[in-house]
Amino acid sequence: MPRFHCPTALSTGALLDLPAGAARHVQVLRLQPGDGITLFTGDTSGEFNATVTQMGRSSVQVKIGDFVSTQREPTLRVHLAVGMPANERMDWLVEKAAELGAASIQPLMTERSVLRLAGDRADKKVAHWQSVAVAACEQCGGNRVPLIHPVMTLAQWLKSHAERCAAAPSDNPQLGLLLSLKPHTQGVREAAAPLMVKASLPVNGTSANEADITFLSGPEGGLSSAEEVATLAAGLKPVTLGPRVLRAETAALAALTTLLV
């Protein structure tokens, strides 16, 4: 069935006017009263069946059906912090990261960034990337839509990352990884192995631990030497994806795939 993101509280048997974006898609698909759809709210535990009841000029009403428990999200939450690649490559990166199961994406401006965003232009880009992430989750079956954070400079982000790590509870371990060209660095999977094992262990025999990994990858040309020094000083661990030189958007997705698949 067609699947739509509906970020609001849902309850079986209730009638609901779909949000504008979902309603527009239902109309484009020429669905009719009686047709079934699937709705997900962002709750990682499952989704709802629903049935179209009314079609208006610009509105669609549905009746919420049963909740279906479906766990498709990894217990390991991987947050991507990326020096924004230029042109349409950031759109592609966001789409594929959402499909693969990224928990969040932080767009960064660095010394070598080609794409520079601020003010309204930055806000519009972030809103656009969030809609790209929603569409990707609708298509791939993901229940958790990755949050696209506001654009930051690398210095701003390093400060906020350090504050978040300091405030994290002891039962929610954190790990920061930096894609680096430094020699003798560990592979991504090897560096993350202890946390990956912890995330796979059951808690009280019922569910798995949750753990957070942040992976930082630079823009075209990578981080400058000064930026890499500052990043390592902030506690991120240098890692490698191997001897090949990957494009900026490929490197972030390769790391995500290595950690989650």
172-185: per-residue pLDDT in tens?
A: 778 899 998 777 78
**CA 259 centroid distance within chain:** 14
CATH class of segment(s) 76-260: alpha beta
Average pLDDT rounded to a whole number, residues 215-244: 90
Average pLDDT rounded to a whole number, residues 221-242: 91
Q: What percent of the chain has pLDDT over 70?
A: 95
* Per-residue pLDDT, 66: 94
Average pLDDT rounded to a whole number, residues 31-50: 90
pLDDT tens-digit map of 100-109: 999 999 999 9
Q: 3-state DSSP call for residue 223? A: coil
pLDDT tens-digit map of 56-76: 888 899 999 999 998 888 878
Instruction: Return phi, psi of residue 194, to 5°.
Output: -60, -40
Query: Distance between CA atoms of 172 and 155, rounded to whole angstroms?
Result: 25
| Residue among 110, 115, 116 nearest 225 (CA) | 110
Asked if 154 contacts 227 with a C-beta cutoff of 8 angstroms, the reply is: yes
Query: Distance between CA atoms of 133 and 123, rounded to whole angstroms?
Result: 15
Query: Distance between CA atoms of 253 and 199, rounded to whole angstroms?
Result: 21
Instruction: Return phi, psi of residue 210, to 5°.
Output: -110, 140
- Ordered by start, the domain boundaries in the chain are 3-69, 76-260
Instruction: Give the torsion sign (CA, 220, 222, 226, 230).
Output: positive
β-strands 147-148, 104-109: how paired? parallel
Query: Distance between CA atoms of 50 and 103, rounded to whole angstroms?
Result: 26
* Per-residue pLDDT, 204: 53
* Per-residue pLDDT, 208: 54
The pLDDT of residue 131 is above 90:
yes
What is the band of 242 on the pLDDT scale with cuts at 50, 70, 90? confident
* Per-residue pLDDT, 206: 46
Asked if 130 contacts 33 with a C-beta cutoff of 8 angstroms, the reply is: no
Higher pLDDT, 208 or 87: 87
Amino acid 43 reads D
| Residue among 144, 140, 62 nearest 95 (CA) | 140
What is the band of 83 on the pLDDT scale with cuts at 50, 70, 90? very high
pTM here?
Answer: 0.88
Average pLDDT rounded to a whole number, residues 182-201: 81
Cross-strand pairs, 82:
107, 217
Q: Which CATH architecture has domain 3-69?
A: Beta Barrel (2.40)
DSSP conformation letters of 219-238:
STT---HHHHHHHHHTTPEE
Q: How many CA atoms lie within 13 A of 220 on its CB side?
A: 8
